[in-house]
Amino acid sequence: MTMVAILSGAGISTDSGIPDYRGPNGVWRKDPGAERLVTYDAYMSDPAVRRRSWRMRLEGPVMGARPNAAHRAIAALERTPGFAVRVLTQNVDGLHQSAGMPERKVLELHGTARAVVCTGCHARSPMEDVLERVRAGEADPACTDCGSVLKSATVMFGQRLDPVVMGQAVGIAKAAEVFLAVGSSLQVQPAASLVGTAAEHGARLVIVNAEPTPYDAVADEIVREPIGTALPELLEQLKAG
């Protein structure tokens, strides 16, 4: 049984119509102000930021996005006898699960945009339910249970990653025989540190990303080709031994 861990970043979902953050056409480069929409202190303290954030989620591409060839190739590898596959994703779009990866084999390091959490009573509900309220005219919907501020169940800038999820991810990185970092700038910590952990523990490290990353020097292989074609080919090679 070959243990394969895949760290996926925004670049794996661009073929699904979701722009990345730091690439040449990235969200932060095109609209630096957009970063405030996902910064915890700004979101909690400024109703205008919250209103714009809900409009962004309502009008943005995430909820309607569908998995692409790269997501499907990973799910196909998971179904292949002889491979134990775990996905550690920086993405919040849920596309790995939509492509067929079992929920328990996907660790969402930065949470999920498909759910909403109350910052007061911590109740969770589907994102789509709250977006219906926004469509109906609620610009800044509050928790129906306690009246507190609602936010997407994502880890915003200024929030800590879930230590339990991160601990599980570190364990997977240490155990991996093959570690692929796909579509990530590897600039956001602590998620990016998983690459170094895997390399230190003997994993074969493959980085698939359009731009150089801080971890290129420790990679066994670097692939700059488009992810939608390069990743399925890589995984087919892996299956073939």
The set of catalytic residues is 110
Q: How many Cα atoms sit within 13 Å of 74 on the Cβ side?
A: 33
What would the DSSP string read from start to end of 104-155?
GGEEETTEEEEEEEETTT--EEEHHHHHHHHHTT-SSPBPTTT-PBEEEEE-
Where helices occur in 2-140 by DSSP H, the ranges are 27-30, 40-45, 47-59, 69-78, 95-98, 127-135
Segment (H or E) for 190: none
Compute CA distances 194 → 24, 89, 177, 181, whole Å. 25, 11, 13, 9
